[in-house]
Amino acid sequence: MTVVNRKIVPFLWFDKVSDEAVNHYLSAFPSSSLRRATTLPETPSGVVEIFAVDLLDSEFNLMSAGPEFKFTPAISFLVACSSAAEVDTIWQQLVPGGSVLMELGSYPFSERFGWLQDKFGVSWQIMFTGQQPIPQRMIPFLMFTGAQCGRAEEAIQFYTSIFPNSGVEDIQRYQKGEEPDQPGSVKYSEFKLYGQSFAAMDSAYDHGFTFNEAISFVVNCETQEEIDYYWEKLSADPEAEMCGWLKDRFGVSWQIVPTIMYEMQQTKDADRLARVTEAFLQMKKFDIAALQRVYEGG
């Protein structure tokens, strides 16, 4: 049986290098491991590979499925470190071939911090937090830019109203004199969804990027009732609905996925896998009963 350790899991869409990225991240982050690997035949993107990995204390999904989407810093991952030395070690693993967004150094909020895009385009904020113990090592970080700038607080309130065991942990606001950001908008906020930590901020600078499907969030669901609930609450763009994917009113992409599908995709029966893959590719919102019927040959 496939064990799911997180309700919400970041999902990264690569072109054709996710297997290389898996090995790179497993070596860059301590206490990391490959959870499972899945190959899906005959999709619109050709043969698709999906890897589930544990990096530090968090599960990530990495998919190799073509060049449709490019990573941007609109969603990055804050890596909470126990020492300045650990910051430096992880930085040295990730920075080769990438680009520096904020130089590694001392800042008012951390004595050791740096922000980079790695050679695959994924953004990481690596920070010494000073916390002992660290409650969560990998924190998804959403930056609201462009047309979404100024909506971070609205999004936080929206998300925390949907998921149980959620709430705002901290919120810091821009002050007068920090233009172009508007006073009162979110400079930094940390919040929990289903007990998992997330962070968000507004940024009024002209970044030239916003959210896209390169990074989405999988919501693992045990029942059809859960799938129906999250689909109804989150989906705001009917044209973006396909194969369990949806886009919310802020442009953030989510996947509402039944956990039983992971077990179906691990089958050694090629015919079963082909039937399930063909079936879910035709669905928008996933139908667990229909997937089970197809899996069993009905």
**Tokens at residue 174, please?**
């821009």
- Asked if pLDDT for residue 4 goes beyond 50, the answer is no
pLDDT digits (tens, 9 = 90+) for 168-200: 999 999 999 999 999 999 999 999 999 999 999
- Average confidence (pLDDT) over 5-22: 90
- Average confidence (pLDDT) over 94-123: 97
What domains lie within the chain, and their CATH numbers? 8-70+212-295 (3.10.180.10), 75-202 (3.30.720.110)
Q: What is the pLDDT of residue 266?
A: 86
- Asked if pLDDT for residue 226 goes beyond 80, the answer is yes
Is 169:149 a contact under the CB 8 Å cutoff?
no
Share of the chain above pLDDT 70, in %: 97
pLDDT digits (tens, 9 = 90+) for 57-102: 899 999 998 888 999 999 999 999 999 999 999 999 999 999 999 9
The residue ranges of DSSP E strands in the chain, in sequence order, are 8-14, 33-43, 46-55, 58-64, 75-81, 99-107, 110-117, 123-128, 138-144, 167-173, 186-193, 196-202, 215-221, 245-247, 253-258
- Asked if pLDDT for residue 155 goes beyond 70, the answer is yes
- Per-residue confidence band for 298, with pLDDT thresholds at 50, 70 and 90: low
Question: Comparing C-alpha atoms, which of 288, 271, 206 is closest to residue 42?
Answer: 271
Tell me the backbone φ, ψ of residue 224, rounded to 5 degrees.
-65, -35
Q: Which residues of 157-196 are buried (b: 16+ CB within 10 A; e: fewer)?
A: eebbebbeebeeeeeebbeeeeeebeeebbbbbbbbbeeb
Q: What is the pLDDT of residue 5?
A: 62
Place of tokens 């990027």: 209
- Asked if pLDDT for residue 7 goes beyond 90, the answer is yes
User: 0.85 exceeded by the pTM?
Assistant: yes
- Asked if pLDDT for residue 45 goes beyond 80, the answer is no
Quote the mean pLDDT of the chain: 93
Q: What is the pLDDT of residue 133?
A: 87
- Average confidence (pLDDT) over 9-38: 92
pLDDT digits (tens, 9 = 90+) for 276-293: 888 988 999 999 999 999
**Tokens at residue 132, please?**
């002992």
Q: Which residues of 247-261 are buried (b: 16+ CB within 10 A; e: fewer)?
A: bbebbbbbbbbbbbb
- Per-residue confidence band for 31, with pLDDT thresholds at 50, 70 and 90: confident
Higher pLDDT, 104 or 36: 104
